[in-house]
Structure 1
Amino acid sequence: MYFKKIFNLLKTNNLPTKYINNCKHTKNNFIYFKQAFKRPESAPMSEKELNKSLQKIKQLQGAKKKVKYSPSTVTLQVLGSDARGATRCLYVSSDHSKYIFNCGEGTQRLAHENHLRLTKLDHIFFTTPTWQNIGGLPGLSLTIQDSGVSELTLHGPKGISEIYDAVKRFVYLTELNVTEASCEEKDVFQDLCMSVRYVHLKKSTPNNDPESNDKLDIDYSTDDNDDVDYYAHEHNKNGKRNYKIQNGKQPNSKIIKHEKKRVTRVTGCVAYICKLTDLVGSLNVEKCVDFGVPPGPLLGQLKSGKDITLENGNIVKSLDVVDPPSSGPVFIVLECPDEDYLQSLVNNEAFKNYQKNNDIQNEDDKNDLPRCIVHFTPENILRNPKYIDWMCKFPSETEHIIINDNNQCLNYIALHRIQHKLNLLHPEIFPIIQDEEQRVDTPYEEIDERLKDLKIHRGKTLNTFELRPLKGFKNSVIQINREADIKEAMDVDGFLDVLAELQTEINARSKFIESMDKFPKIVMLGTGSCVPNKVRNTSGILVRIDEETSILLDCGEGTKGQLVRFFGDESDNIIKSIKAIYISHLHADHHLGFLGVLQARKRLTDEKLFLLAPKQIESWIRLYHKKFEPFEDYINFVPNQGLLLTLESLPTDTKDELLQQLKLKKINTIGVLHCLHAFGISLTLKNERKIVYSGDTKPCPGLVTLGENCDLLIHEATMEDGLEHEARKKMHSTISQAISIGEQMKAKFILLTHFSQRYSKMPRIPEDDEKFNSNNIGIAFDNMQFNLAELTLLPLFYPALKLIFSEYCYQLETKAQRRLLKQQQQNEKLNLNIQHQKN
Structure 2
Amino acid sequence: MLLSLVKFQRFKRIVVDGIRTNYKVTTHPIRKFSKSSTAMDAKYERQPNVLRKKLSNVVPGSVNLQVLGAGANGSPSAVYLFTDQSRYLFNCGEGTQRLAYEHKTRLSRLEQIFMTRNTWTSVGGLPGLALTIQDAGVRQLGVHGPPHLDTMLQSMRRFVMLKNLQMQNIDATTSQHFEDSILSVQSVVLRSEKQPEQSVISYICKLKPRPGALNLVKCVEHGVPPGPLLGQLKNGQDVELPGGKVVRSVDVTEPGETALSFVFIDVPSVDYLSALQAQAKEYKQLADSELTEVALVVHFSPAAMTEHADYRQFMAENFSQCTEHIYLNSPSNSFSGYAATHRIQYQLHQLAPLVFPLLAESLELQHNCPLKKTKLEEEEAKEELTGEESKKREQPKKDDQKQSLNQGVVPMTSFHLRPKKGLDRTLESKLTPEEYIKETHAVPGVTELLAKLKCDTKLSQESELATEGRSNYPRIIFLGTGSCIPNKTRNVSSILIQTAKEAFVLLDCGEGTHGQIVRLYGNERAKEIMLQLQAIYVSHLHADHHIGLIALLTERQQLAPEAPLLLLAPRQIEPWLQFYNRQIESIADSYTLVANGELLENPLRGEGVERLGIDSIGTCLVRHCPHAFGISLTLQAEHEGEPIKITYSGDTMPCEDLVELGRNSTVLIHEATMEDDLVEEARIKTHSTISQAIQQGRDMQAKHTILTHFSQRYAKCPRLPSNEDMQHVAIAFDNMQVTVDDLKEYEKLYPALMAMFAEYTEELEQRAVKRELKQERKRKLAQT
By the TM > 0.5 criterion, same fold? yes
* Aligned AA (1:201): L
1:467 aligns to what?
A: 417
Aligned pairs for 1:207-286 within 5 A: 267-284=198-215
> Deviation per CA, 1:254-291, whole angstroms, max 9, x where unpaired?
xxxxxxxxxxxxx3111111101121222245877999
Query: Which segments of 5 or more consecutive residues in structure 2 lack a partner in the other structure?
Result: 1-42, 372-400
State the TM-score, normalized to the length of structure 2.
Answer: 0.83
> Deviation per CA, 1:408-460, whole angstroms, max 9, x where unpaired?
2241111111111101001121111121223669x9xxxxxxx9999756332
Q: Choose which of 622, 625, 630 in structure 2 pairs with 1:680.
A: 630
The 2-side partners of 1:583 and 1:629 are apart by 21
Change (3 A) 1:484 1:287: farther
> Deviation per CA, 1:815-837, whole angstroms, max 9, x where unpaired?
1112222323333444x44xxxx
Change (3 A) 1:319 1:62: closer
> Deviation per CA, 1:674-701, whole angstroms, max 9, x where unpaired?
0011111111111311111110000001
2:533 aligns to what?
A: 578
Larger deviation, residues 566-575 vs 417-426 = 566-575
The 1-side partners of 2:488 and 2:402 are apart by 38
Change (3 A) 1:743 1:309: closer
> Deviation per CA, 1:160-218, whole angstroms, max 9, x where unpaired?
222112211111111111111242467311001111111111222347xxxxxx6xxxx
* Aligned AA (1:530): C
Does 2:30 correspond to 1:76? Answer: no
Q: Choose which of 519, 530, 545 in structure 2 pairs with 1:565.
A: 519
CA contact (8 A) 2:411 2:429 kept: yes
Aligned pairs for 1:474-493 within 5 A: 474-476=424-426, 477-493=428-444
1:399 aligns to what?
A: 324
Change (3 A) 1:488 1:639: same
Q: Choose which of 727, 734, 748 in structure 2 pairs with 1:782.
A: 734
> Deviation per CA, 1:606-649, whole angstroms, max 9, x where unpaired?
211010111111111111111111101111111111222xx117
1:251 aligns to what?
A: none
SS in 2 for 1:726: helix
> Deviation per CA, 1:532-553, whole angstroms, max 9, x where unpaired?
0000000000000122100000
1:430 aligns to what?
A: 356
Does 2:388 correspond to 1:388? Answer: no
Query: Which segments of 5 or more consecutive residues in structure 1 lack a partner in the other structure?
Result: 1-55, 208-213, 215-266, 444-450, 834-839
Does 2:96 correspond to 1:107? Answer: yes
1:413 aligns to what?
A: 339
Change (3 A) 1:452 1:747: closer
* Aligned AA (1:680): G
> Deviation per CA, 1:44-79, whole angstroms, max 9, x where unpaired?
xxxxxxxxxxxx999646974322222211111111
Larger deviation, residues 726-735 vs 591-600 = 591-600
CA contact (8 A) 1:615 1:640 kept: yes
CA contact (8 A) 1:185 1:199 kept: no
Change (3 A) 1:549 1:63: farther
Does 2:757 correspond to 1:805? Answer: yes
The 2-side partners of 1:302 and 1:177 are apart by 35
Aligned pairs for 1:606-645 within 5 A: 606=561, 607-644=563-600
Change (3 A) 1:301 1:336: closer
CA contact (8 A) 1:716 1:754 kept: yes
SS in 2 for 1:723: helix
SS in 1 for 2:759: helix
1:36 aligns to what?
A: none
Aligned pairs for 1:341-380 within 5 A: 341-349=272-280, 351-354=282-285, 365=289, 368-380=292-304
Q: Choose which of 428, 448, 462 in structure 2 pairs with 1:497.
A: 448
Change (3 A) 1:186 1:812: closer
2:183 aligns to what?
A: 194
1:65 aligns to what?
A: 52
1:26 aligns to what?
A: none
Change (3 A) 1:320 1:789: same
Deviation at 1:512, TM superposition (A): 8.9
2:776 aligns to what?
A: 824
> Deviation per CA, 1:740-787, whole angstroms, max 9, x where unpaired?
010011110111000000111110124x46413x2x011100010111
The 2-side partners of 1:521 and 1:678 are apart by 25
Q: Choose which of 682, 693, 696 in structure 2 pairs with 1:738.
A: 693
CA contact (8 A) 2:494 2:508 kept: yes
The 2-side partners of 1:478 and 1:584 are apart by 35
SS in 2 for 1:483: helix
CA contact (8 A) 1:719 1:733 kept: yes
The 1-side partners of 2:206 and 2:175 are apart by 16
1:324 aligns to what?
A: 255
CA contact (8 A) 1:392 1:454 kept: no
1:539 aligns to what?
A: 493
Change (3 A) 1:542 1:116: same
CA contact (8 A) 2:71 2:336 kept: no
Change (3 A) 1:82 1:297: closer
> Deviation per CA, 1:56-115, whole angstroms, max 9, x where unpaired?
999646974322222211111111111121111111111111111111000000001111
Does 2:592 correspond to 1:667? Answer: no
Change (3 A) 1:127 1:319: closer
The 2-side partners of 1:289 and 1:800 are apart by 73
Q: Percent identity?
A: 42
Change (3 A) 1:550 1:63: farther
Deviation at 1:600, TM superposition (A): 1.7
Q: Choose which of 724, 728, 747 in structure 1 pairs with 2:683.
A: 728
Change (3 A) 1:797 1:813: same
CA contact (8 A) 1:194 1:275 kept: yes
1:521 aligns to what?
A: 475
2:374 aligns to what?
A: none
- After superposition, the CA RMSD in angstroms is 3.0
1:551 aligns to what?
A: 505
Deviation at 1:332, TM superposition (A): 0.7
CA contact (8 A) 1:84 1:405 kept: no
State the TM-score, normalized to the length of structure 1.
Answer: 0.78
Deviation at 1:340, TM superposition (A): 0.8
The 1-side partners of 2:206 and 2:286 are apart by 15
SS in 2 for 1:460: coil
Change (3 A) 1:661 1:276: same
SS in 2 for 1:759: coil
Does 2:130 correspond to 1:149? Answer: no
Change (3 A) 1:795 1:329: same
Deviation at 1:318, TM superposition (A): 5.7
The 1-side partners of 2:127 and 2:148 are apart by 15
* Aligned AA (1:463): T
Does 2:36 correspond to 1:85? Answer: no
* Aligned AA (1:377): S
SS in 1 for 2:573: helix
* Aligned AA (1:427): P
